[in-house]
Amino acid sequence: MAVDIPKELRDPHTPDEVVISSEPRVPETDPTLGVTVPPVVDGIPRNRLVSIGDSLTHGFQSAAIFNTDISYPALIANELGWLAEFRRPHYPGFGGLPLNIEYLVRELEHRFGDRIDWYELPLALFHARHWMAQAEQYWEHGPGSQIPRVALINHNLAVFGWDLRDTLERTFDYCYGEMQEPKQQLIPNIENGNNLAALRVLPSGDNHLRGLTPLTAAAQLGAEGTEGTPGEGDGIETLIVFIGANNALGSVTHFKVHWSDVGYDDLKKKDQYNVWRPSHFKSEFDLVAKQVEEIRARHVIWGTVPHVTVIPLAHGVGEDKQHPGSRYFAYYTWPWIKDSSFDPNTDPNLTHQQARAIDSAIDMYNQHIVDRVRQGRQAGHDWYLLDVAGILDRLAYRRYILDPAARPDWWTPYPLPPEVQALGIDSRFFRSDRNGRTEGGIFALDGVHPTTVGYGLIAQEFMNIMYAAGVAFPKAAPGAPNPPTLDWGRTIARDTMISAPPISLGADLRTIGWLDEVIEVFQHLFRRGAFA
């Protein structure tokens, strides 16, 4: 990796330990990393699939956790023929937690059509706040505030907004004790959104279960053993661990960079930071890996951390890149701020130096994940790597697809499945009007999390590795050269952003920009750390 860069490309506030790279890290394409591990085939694990992670694994979309039946672990479970047995949390009512932007946009479109005229603005503002107040009432005081009894441990143990330390320490008892009495606010907001979501994920049926973290809960599932021999052998067939994005994502959603320092490993203090120094990330990740080593899982698949600056929420400003051949724009800001009106002195933004530093730190995170997975395989663990960062880089529309000069030598376009290719989707911020979708389609309306089709791409990649590891899928004959294909007809039909796009998200993102201007929807969510 080239590191000889001009001094002006380094942000002066970046810690010295961050090696600023001129090119992105070369992604790994071999899930085994070239290390052979003898297969284990004794017995049938009682739990076919367990997942640990953050919002990307929880199934978060458009700023809310709602339909967990179409999270990527649930999509995989469906292809395993195991969806009915796959335990996951549920979030009925008002589009989920904390605020479903797609639901709010569709509610406004139902009342006002594809354009809110000037004389309708006061009524539209009243209606939007009323809808948000109803959602707040439902979740903070109404039926949604009732914590269900999770008697059995869920198979999807991911919680949106969680980072490595949260996964190591947070339990049902901790989250319940952290709940606050909701206060009256000018702008309605679900204050306990993250904890309300977590309390539906973590087990609470018995007192001894309330002290389990996602990692120790997975260990209990692993200890269940195989069919016919309870307590013996591997109780989990495939464990997916995809965690770490929130150790850097907050820098992009807040458009500010706060490098981790003393207290990065303290639940009470870490929220003041939004990018972990590589040494701190490595320390936290190693603690997670050590616990995963003790989980009786036949196969473990680890995901790398995506480059958070490629998400469409971070919109590169200017018609041209920072300089010819660069993968960075001069600044990054909200996608509804027009290039012609952007002012770096007043609009929230990251500089290209800051974006480069964040990506360089993530490259160092991911190299450590690669090294740790390789060490695990060398020690005899059947661990695999899915380089999610490389996949998203190959889908980065404005960074690489539109700019061949910025592409590193290893870059090739990501081969979309034919059914998805036919949709014409890309990684830009979602735009649509009465004629249908005009841009985007991989990311939902928060500009951070995938649409259902986007989650389908992730599911297919994990399925490819699972099949190569020996996991049986009903649709694929044993020993067949190709893994099973995700049911794209079902997946596309269930993606409301694709099958029935909103009508008011035209080229100027008028509705989204208006919501952020008058209700501060995005600023309020991100400022409170609602999902970042």
Q: Are strands 331-333 and 350-351 parallel, antiparallel or unpaired?
A: antiparallel
**CB contact at 8 A, 330 and 323:** no
b/e map 221-247, b = 16+ CB within 10 Å: bbbbbbeeeeeebbbbbbbbbbbbbbb
pLDDT tens for the 532 residues of the chain, in order: 445 577 778 999 999 999 998 899 999 999 999 999 998 778 999 999 999 999 999 999 999 999 999 999 999 999 999 999 999 999 988 899 998 999 999 999 999 988 888 788 889 888 888 888 899 999 999 999 998 888 899 999 999 999 999 999 999 999 999 987 765 555 557 888 999 999 999 999 888 899 999 999 999 999 999 998 999 999 999 999 999 999 999 999 999 999 999 999 999 999 999 999 999 999 999 999 999 999 999 999 999 999 999 999 999 997 667 677 889 999 999 999 888 899 999 999 999 999 999 999 999 999 999 999 999 999 999 999 999 999 999 999 999 999 999 999 999 999 999 999 999 999 999 999 999 999 999 999 999 999 999 999 999 999 999 999 999 999 877 767 788 999 999 999 999 999 999 999 887 677 888 787 766 666 656 654 455 4
Cα separation of 381 and 400, whole Å?
A: 36
pLDDT digits (tens, 9 = 90+) for 409-424: 999 999 999 999 999 9
CA nearest 530: which of 96, 18, 123? 96
Helix (H) or strand (E) holding 112: helix 101-112
**How many other CB atoms are there within 10 angstroms of residue 300's CB atom?**
24
Residue the block writes with tokens 């049938």? 44
- Inter-helix orientation angle 72-79/452-468, to 10°: 50
CA distances to 59, 198, 239, 366, 532 from 214, rounded to whole Å, are 16, 10, 12, 22, 19
Taking each helix axis from N to C terminus, what angle separates 214-222 and 278-293, rounded to the nearest 10 degrees? Answer: 20
- Side chain identity at residue 165, one-letter code: R
Sheet holding 350-351, edge to edge: 315-317, 331-333, 350-351
List CB contacts of 98: < 8 A, sequence separation 6 or more.
63, 64, 139, 189, 190, 193, 194, 525, 530, 531
Relative to beta strand 64-65, strand 47-53 is unpaired
The pTM assigned to this predicted structure is 0.95
User: How far apart are the C-alpha atoms of 388 and 410, rounded to whole Å?
Assistant: 15
Distance CA 362, CA 239 (A): 23
Q: Do 468 and 398 form a contact (C-beta atoms < 8 A)?
A: no
Task: Give residue-wise pLDDT tens across range 349-377.
Answer: 999 999 999 999 999 999 999 999 999 99
Rounded to 5°, angle at Cα 470 from 465 and 476: 85
Structure tokens, 322: 């920072």
